[in-house]
């Protein structure tokens, strides 16, 4: 299959999978083209309501990780945290696990949650911060267990290795022809910025901060909104044991990012109003320590570099964007963050 082509469900596959759920008469099935291209999804309207069926990407998950995510989601539901419910198959061999396994393929069926994508209103941004605080408060009473993933984007050797690999992965692309010096310069700037940010966070004392289960992918695409509030948080595949400030820093970065049609048109700066809306609303519900707050700008730099490095090192591109062009944009944003961290993030608390 072409890497750009989206995988889909076959008609026979759908019939077999849906026979395991008590949905009644099926009225319509519509392809839901979001998320990983290797993980097809369909929306279902039926006698029992609206649902979303998902087949897991076998290259990006394991049974143990899925089981962990299901345990976490069940705990969050008991804490009345907003997320879609997973439907249990009628013939599930495990009365606790809602995972359906057919011919080594993993399937999940979710109740549909009505909502819309992030529109960057003040209310949505503030509620994303409050909801993140609620997530962290809920997971403090969750027992991670031996199947809980660990590790994060801070001081990660995988990021360093990825940066070293990028010149070879990008070089065959036409966008780099005649620009080898620019490419190496961008890689060197990002490598230096990553090392400096990691060292700054270590010096502040990040290693001494306690760990708990975090979401690890807190961004607008993983939320549905309604009436300026978070209607549901989705995608728990990246949840892991780490420090909560990793979530806060990544959330602040993702919700304040200013974009555009092409990476070269993205502004260098962040939306500082959204920075403070998310951060202040989080702290009103669950205050950060001085050490955590001081780590945030450094962790944002690490998160920004890590997010672009791994896919570009692997494929030479970032989604549908050429890797070199995307790296140049990231370089600009990293330099802006380094220059403005003190006046943006170290202002007095509200």
Q: Report the CATH number that the domain containing residue 153 is assigned in CATH.
A: 3.90.1200.10
CB 96 within 8 A of CB 159: no
Last residue of one domain, picked from the residues 111, 134, 165: 111
pLDDT score recorded for residue 2: 41
- The secondary structure element, H or E, covering residue 214 is strand 212-214
Q: Looking at the domain assignment, is residue 26 inside a domain?
A: yes
Q: Report the CATH number that the domain containing residue 62 is assigned in CATH.
A: 3.30.200.20
Considering the domain architecture, whether residues 153 and 285 belong to the same structural domain is answered as yes
Structural domain of residue 338, as residue ranges? 122-345
Considering the domain architecture, whether residues 330 and 201 belong to the same structural domain is answered as yes
Last residue of one domain, picked from the residues 90, 111, 132: 111
Considering the domain architecture, whether residues 211 and 78 belong to the same structural domain is answered as no
Please tell me the distance from the alpha carbon of residue 320 to that of residue 51, in angstroms, as a whole number: 29
Q: Which residues contact 313 (CB under 8 A, 6 or more apart)?
A: 161, 162, 163, 165, 166, 169
DSSP classification of residue 90? T
**What residues pair up with 232 in beta bridges, in sequence order?**
224
Considering the domain architecture, whether residues 86 and 135 belong to the same structural domain is answered as no
Report the candidate in 276, 281, 278, 289 with the shortest Cα–Cα distance to residue 347: 276
Considering the domain architecture, whether residues 159 and 22 belong to the same structural domain is answered as no
Instruction: Look up residue 204 and give its two tokens.
Output: 């502040």
Q: Looking at the domain assignment, is residue 6 inside a domain?
A: no
pLDDT score recorded for residue 169: 87
How many domains, in total, are found in the chain? 2
Instruction: Look up residue 39 and give its two tokens.
Output: 């993980």
Please list the pLDDT of the chain residue by residue as tens digits (350 residues): 345 577 899 999 999 999 999 999 999 999 988 777 788 999 999 999 999 999 998 777 788 889 999 999 999 999 999 999 999 999 877 777 899 999 889 999 999 999 999 999 999 999 999 999 999 999 999 999 998 999 999 999 999 999 999 998 887 766 677 788 899 999 999 999 999 999 999 999 999 999 999 999 999 999 999 999 999 999 999 999 999 999 999 999 999 999 988 999 999 999 999 999 999 999 999 999 999 999 999 999 999 999 999 999 998 999 889 899 999 999 999 999 999 987 777 655 55
pTM for the full predicted model? 0.92
Helices 157-170, 180-204: inter-axial angle, 10-degree rounding: 170
Exposed / middle / buried, residue 191 (Cβ in 10 Å: 0-12, 13-18, 19+)? middle
Q: Looking at the domain assignment, is residue 117 inside a domain?
A: no
Considering the domain architecture, whether residues 142 and 171 belong to the same structural domain is answered as yes
Last residue of one domain, picked from the residues 65, 86, 111: 111
């Amino acid at each position: 299959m072409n890497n750009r082509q989206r995988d889909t469900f076959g008609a026979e596959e759908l019939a077999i999978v849906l026979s395991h759920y008590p949905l009644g008469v099926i009225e319509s099935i519509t392809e839901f083209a979001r998320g990983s291209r290797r993980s097809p999804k369909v929306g279902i309207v039926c006698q029992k309501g609206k649902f979303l069926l998902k087949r897991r990407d076998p290259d990006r998950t394991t049974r143990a990780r899925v089981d962990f995510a299901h345990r976490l989601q069940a705990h969050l539901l008991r804490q009345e945290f907003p997320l879609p419910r997973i439907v249990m198959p009628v013939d599930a061999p495990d009365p606790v696990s809602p995972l359906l396994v057919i011919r080594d393929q993993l399937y999940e069926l979710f109740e549909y949650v009505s909502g819309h994508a992030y529109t960057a209103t003040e209310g949505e941004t503030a509620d994303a911060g409050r909801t993140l605080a609620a997530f962290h408060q809920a997971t403090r009473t969750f027992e991670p267990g031996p199947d809980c993933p660990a590790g994060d984007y801070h001081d990660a050797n995988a990021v360093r290795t990825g940066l070293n690999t990028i010149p070879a992965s990008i070089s065959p692309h036409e966008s780099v022809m005649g620009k080898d010096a620019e490419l190496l310069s961008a890689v060197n700037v990002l490598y230096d910025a990553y090392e400096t940010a990691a060292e700054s966070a270590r010096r502040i004392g990040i290693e001494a901060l306690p760990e708990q289960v975090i979401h690890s992918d807190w961004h607008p695409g993983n939320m549905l909104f309604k009436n300026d509030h978070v209607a549901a948080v989705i995608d728990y595949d990246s949840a892991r044991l780490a420090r909560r400030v990793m979530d806060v820093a990544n959330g602040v970065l993702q919700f304040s990012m200013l974009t555009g049609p092409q990476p070269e048109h993205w502004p260098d700066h962040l939306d500082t109003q959204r920075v403070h809306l998310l951060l202040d609303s989080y702290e009103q519900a669950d205050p950060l320590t001085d050490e955590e707050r001081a780590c945030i700008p450094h962790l944002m730099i690490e998160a920004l570099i890590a997010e672009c490095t791994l896919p570009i090192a692997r494929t030479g591109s970032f989604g549908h964007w050429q890797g070199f062009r995307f790296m140049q944009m990231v370089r600009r944003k990293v330099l802006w963050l380094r220059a403005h961290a003190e006046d943006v993030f170290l202002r007095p608390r509200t």
